[in-house]
Chains A and B, each alone.
Chain A
Amino acid sequence: MSTAPLLDVEHLSVEFGAPGAALHAVDDVSFSVSAREVVGIVGESGSGKSVTALAVLGLVDAPGRVRAERLAFDGRDLQGMPARERRSLLGGDIAMIFQDPMTSLNPSFSVAFQLMETIALHEGGTRRARRARALQLLKDVEIPDAERRLDAFPHQLSGGMSQRVMLAMAIACNPRLLIADEPTTALDVTIQAQMLALLLRLQRRHGMALVLITHDLGVVAEVAERVLVMYAGQVVETAGVPGVFEEPRHPYSEALLASLPERNAGQRRLKSLAGVVPGAFDRPPGCLLAPRCPYVQARCNGERPALFELDASRARCFFPLPTHAEVAPRP
């Protein structure tokens, strides 16, 4: 990259519980996001993708412990920053929307209040000006009948509309980075596509970097330029989007793809890996996937692999899957 990354995360870890018997929700995660880039973070529930985002924003509370070698936004060290300065970034330069819009809006305040609050917190302005901005924002997120919706209360809105309001709050102050944590998971299938399209449109229009957290590979394929695959708190592969679908280098990525319904047409069962994701008490000493990996070898059980640089991607595997170009036989 010729330009410095907008968000730089190096060796981020988040732990919960007693030291020694801790749950490693996030384990040595490193990634970066450049301006205007769309990055996907993919993984199943419990893979640590949401906690990673919360840790970047500084929203992980005790008893969680956040540690990172480097956590920087636009070159500024987020960890060393005074709390007030970090707070001024939230909602301003960095914004986040969450999974369940129905519970993410405060039921006691109107949409107008909540929108205007964001504006007041970061930009100020007269009531009239903020209200006009709020109305415009509702129109930007394509809410029909925006005038009326402005004074509505959250319980009067549907899921799709609530999520649009969340989106409006997020883009209110023109953030440079928007993190969307499973923004469509709680919505009806028919609305999911609309929401994604809207998200992309806004991303392009505002020139934001977008980090899209999801468990849905289909979404990643459509929207992202790069993807991080997470498993049990670790990043197991980072790659460009078309690449990872055609040539996954990590066995877990391969398994994820293999379990897609589209790739199991005509089968009676979806292909999946045996076993379960390790929890707090049964974390393997070596590679976290080793107990379930179809390609496991002796070394995998003893040593923890690092994230190795490969030609077009990085994978946390001692024996990454061969590309189409390689013809090496597998045991």
Chain B
Amino acid sequence: MTTAAAIATPAALPAPATELWRAFRRNRGAVAGLGFVVLLMLFALLANVIAPYSPSEQFRDATLARPSLTPIGGHVFLLGTDEVGRDILSRLIHGTRLSLVIGLVSVSLSLSGGVLLGLVAGFHRGRAAEFTIMRAMDVLLALPSLLLAVAVVAVLGPGLANAMYAIAIVMLPHFVRLTRGAVLGELAKDYVAASRLAGASTARLMFDTVLPNCAAPLIVQATLGFSSAILDAAALGFLGLGAQPPTPEWGSMLASALEFIQSAWWVVTLPGLAILLTVLAFNLTGDGLRDALDPKLKT
């Protein structure tokens, strides 16, 4: 094939979504992570069907049973039971649903609030609105995330819902900064000036024109936000400030584990393993997304 012929018939450019998937697919770790996330979603949706027992049902004659295939009192506890006889496998499966919900709620709240604030801050550059918002974000960032979450929960009171609000607040500054940064970058470009000249209102500019172009880094941050939300929720649960018993949240399952560390290692190891694998999966997916989107961000 001569060069002349090659110039004459340029290959059709693939759709951006296909290109993104292709770039993503090259990273094996990211694909594995995404696969695991999908698996988790299945577990969460089908928890009632898959889990052998109810997560709060206590089997009094089988407390702290070891993981095994041999039934105790007619019931098989594949991953053992905890100190009041609840099946750990069932609790872990139902806990998946909780973890995903925690991630979803916290990230959604944080994302929507953060994007809104970021847009306002970016569009009102140099004015009081921007200054107040960004200084408020600085204050939130000055505190380490767990400390801030603990402070918020200390005020609101322990509980899963309050934990989710606290985590959403903790993640807020990251979304605000990201959005504002992206907005400032986009505002300098010509297409925005063109839109303004055409008479677009600020709101329309914000949502229709600028925001779609900032989507990529926000998506990456949201995915990684899932993992920090799950970790923080688990930490709060562990400290007794998040999900309260008998809720099968993985972190609170570890709260009483210290007592049984000598007698029942499975109570200690398994919930934490679930957290690790889930967070790992989200991190791998988020990293993969970031690497796949990166060259795109430059075009």
A and B touch in the complex (CB under 8 A): yes
Give me the interface of A with B, judged by CB distance under 8 Å: 274-276, 278, 282, 284, 291-292
Q: Which residues of A contact B3 (CB under 8 A)?
A: 275-276, 278, 282, 284, 291-292
A276 CA to B2 CA, complexed, in Å: 11
Nearest chain A CB to B233's CB is how many angstroms away? 43
Give every chain B residue within 8 A of A282 (Cβ-Cβ). Answer: 1, 3, 6
Residues of A within 8 A of B6 (CB): 282
Q: Residues of A contacting B155 with CB < 8 Å?
A: none
Decide if the interface of chain B is mainly helix, strand, loop or mixed.
Answer: helix
Residues of the A chain whose Cβ atoms lie less than 8 Å from the Cβ of B7: 275-276
**B139 part of interface (Cβ distance < 8 Å):** no
Decide yes or no whether B4 CB sits under 8 A from chain A: yes
With the chains together, A291 CA to B8 CA distance in Å? 13
The binding surface of chain A is classed by DSSP as: loop
Compute how far the CA of A275 lies from the CA of B5 in the bound complex, rounded to whole angstroms.
10
Docked CA distance A275–B6 (Å)? 10
Contacts of A278 in B (CB 8 A): 3
- How many angstroms between the C-alpha atoms of A308 and B179 in the bound complex? 63
- Chain B residue at minimal CB-CB distance from A283: B3
Cα A282 to Cα B3 with chains together (Å): 7
Instruction: Mark out the residues of chain B between 1 and 27 whose CB falls within 8 Å of any chain A CB in the assembled complex.
Output: 1-4, 6-7
Report, as a range, how many residues of chain B touch the other chain: under 10
Question: How far is the CB of B106 from the nearest CB of chain A, in Å?
Answer: 42
Bound form: Cα–Cα A291–B2 in Å: 6
CA distance A290 to B1 in the complex (A): 12
Besides the known contacts A275-B7, A276-B3, A282-B1, 7 further A-B residue pairs in the complex with CB atoms under 8 A apart: A274-B4, A275-B3, A275-B4, A276-B7, A282-B6, A284-B3, A291-B2
Task: List the 5 closest A-B pairs by CB distance, nearest first.
Answer: A291-B3, A291-B2, A275-B3, A282-B6, A282-B3
Q: Report the nearest B residue to A278, measured CB to CB.
A: B3
Q: Which of B67-115 contact A (CB under 8 A)?
A: none
Measured between alpha carbons, how far is A275 from B4 in the docked complex, in Å? 7
How many angstroms from the CA of A292 to the CA of B6 in the assembled complex? 13
Minimum CB–CB distance from A231 to chain B (whole Å) comes to: 13
Interface string of B107-148 (1 = CB under 8 A from A): 000000000000000000000000000000000000000000
Chain B min CB distance to A245 (Å): 28
Alpha-carbon distance between A317 and B4 when the two chains are bound, in angstroms: 21
For the complex, what is the distance from the CA of A253 to the CA of B7, rounded to whole Å? 24
Closest to B3 in A: A291
10 pairs, A vs B, C-beta closer than 8 Å: A274-B4, A275-B3, A275-B7, A276-B7, A278-B3, A282-B1, A282-B6, A284-B2, A284-B3, A291-B3
A residues near B4, Cβ cutoff 8 Å: 274-275, 291
A275: chain B residues at CB < 8 Å are 3-4, 7
Inter-chain CA distance A37–B7, complex, in Å, is 42
A109 → chain B closest CB, angstroms? 31
Query: In the bound complex, how far is the Cα of B7 from the Cα of A274, in angstroms?
Result: 11
Q: In whole angstroms, what is the CA distance A284 to B6 when docked?
A: 12
- How many Å from the CB of A284 to the closest CB on chain B? 7
Min Cβ gap B278→A in Å is 36
A286 nearest CB across to chain B (Å): 10
Q: Which residue of B lies closest to A275 (CB)?
A: B3
Convert B193-218 into 0s and 1s, putting 1 for each residue whose CB lies closer than 8 angstroms to a CB of A.
Answer: 00000000000000000000000000
In the assembly, what is the distance between CA of A47 and CA of B6, in Å? 20
CA distance A292 to B3 in the complex (A): 8
Q: In whole angstroms, what is the CA distance A324 to B54 when docked?
A: 98
Residue of B nearest to A290 (CB): B2
A63–chain B nearest beta-carbon distance, Å? 17
B183: shortest Cβ distance to chain A, in Å? 31
Cα(A284)–Cα(B1), bound, Å:
8
In whole angstroms, how far apart are the Cα atoms of A39 and B112 in the complex?
64
Query: Cβ of A274: which chain B residues have Cβ within 8 Å of it?
Result: 4
B2: chain A residues at CB < 8 Å are: 284, 291
B10 to chain A, nearest CB (A): 12
Residues of A within 8 A of B1 (CB): 282
A89 to chain B, nearest CB (A): 39
A276–B5 Cα distance when bound, in Å, is 12
A278 vs B2: C-alpha distance in the bound complex, in angstroms? 10
In the complex, chain B residues whose CB is within 8 Å of the CB of A292: 3
CA distance A282 to B8 in the complex (A): 14
Whole-angstrom distance from the CB of A285 to the nearest CB of chain B?
A: 10
The residue in chain B whose Cβ has the minimal distance to the Cβ of A277 is B3
Among residues of A, the one whose C-beta sits closest to the C-beta of B6 is A282
| B170 nearest CB across to chain A (Å) | 37
Q: In the complex the two chains form, what is the Cα distance from A274 to B8 in whole Å?
A: 13
Query: What per-residue 1/0 map shows which CB atoms of B222-244 lie under 8 Å from chain A?
Result: 00000000000000000000000
Closest to A281 in B: B6
Task: Report the bound CA distance from A274 to B5 in whole Å.
Answer: 12
Q: Least Cβ distance of A301 to chain B in Å? A: 8
B287 to chain A, nearest CB (A): 24
A303 to chain B, nearest CB (A): 16
Query: Nearest-CB distance from A296 to chain B (Å)?
Result: 10
Listed residue (B3, B6, B7) with the most chain A CB atoms within 10 angstroms of its CB: B3
Using CB atoms, name the residue of chain A closest to B2.
A291
Expressed in whole angstroms, the Cα–Cα distance for A278 and B6 within the complex equals 10
Q: Measured between C-beta atoms, what is the minimum distance from A233 to chain B in Å?
A: 15
Q: How far is the CA of A284 from the CA of B5 in the complex (A)?
A: 12
Whole-angstrom distance between the alpha carbons of A284 and B4 in the complex? 11
Closest to A291 in B: B3
